[in-house]
Structures are given as structure tokens and as C-alpha cells.
Amino acid sequence: MKESFGDRVIKIALRIPSGRVTTYGRIARAAGGGAMASQSITSILSKAYDNGEKKIPFHRIVYADGRIWVNSRYRKERMKLYKKEGIEIDNKDRIKDFRDILLDF
């Protein structure tokens, strides 16, 4: 049976190493998706998380311009994860040295 786009997205997300980040678009392309596929990455990973895949490193998946996704509910927890992995965030919620730690597949 052929592996689904969603299954490939999950496998790719799980391979993002500590201290590195990648973008929604890079995950979508690596999984074989087209230009609009990046919009489905969060939904696919959230469903996988809800179905028991608790090791998804959501904090390592960022926007193409280096901005992190963060809200008031998750800010403290996410910032701890970034600090633990040596990823620096500026005061505009962008990753410092983004191009240096960006992972391409």
C-alpha cells in the first residue's frame, strides 16, 4: 500500500533534529506536496498528535521568514524548548541565524 501524504509529513517532522528548524513549505515539498500543501501541515500534525503521536517537534516547524508560531498559552513552554536546544529568538519572534539552522530535505 502506498504511503499517504499525511504519513510522509509525520515521518519528516519526526526527523527534524534538535537545534534545527524547518518550514511548513519544506515539509510539504519533501512529502511530495504542491505549493498549497504547506497549509495542511499543521492540521495533519495536530491530528497525528491527537491520535497519540506525542513526539512531534512543533516548535521546530516555522514560517518561511523565520517567524515562530507562538501564542500566550504556549509561549513560556516554547521558549524553554528553544533555549534548551540553543535556538535564539529575537524580540519579533523570529529565529536568529535562521538560515544557519534551517534544515532542508
pLDDT at 2 over 90: no
In this predicted structure, the answer to whether residue 95 has a pLDDT above a threshold of 80 is yes
Cα–Cα dist 2/59, whole Å:
29
User: Do 43 and 75 touch, CB atoms closer than 8 A?
Assistant: no
User: Is the residue at 105 inside a domain?
Assistant: no
Which domain CATH number covers 18?
1.10.10.10
Concatenated DSSP letters of 44-104: HHHHHHHTT-TT--GGGEE-TTSBPP--TTTHHHHHHHHHHHT--B-TTSBBTTHHHHB--
pLDDT of residue 9: 98
User: Is 91 contained in some domain?
Assistant: yes
Whether 70 is covered by a domain: the verdict is yes
Look up the pTM and report it. 0.93
Number of structural domains in the chain: 1
56 part of a folded domain? yes
What is the per-residue pLDDT for 40?
Answer: 95
List the domain range (segments joined by +) for residue 41: 5-95
pLDDT digits (tens, 9 = 90+) for 24-79: 999 999 999 987 899 999 999 999 999 999 999 999 999 999 999 999 998 999 99
For residue 103, is it within any domain? no
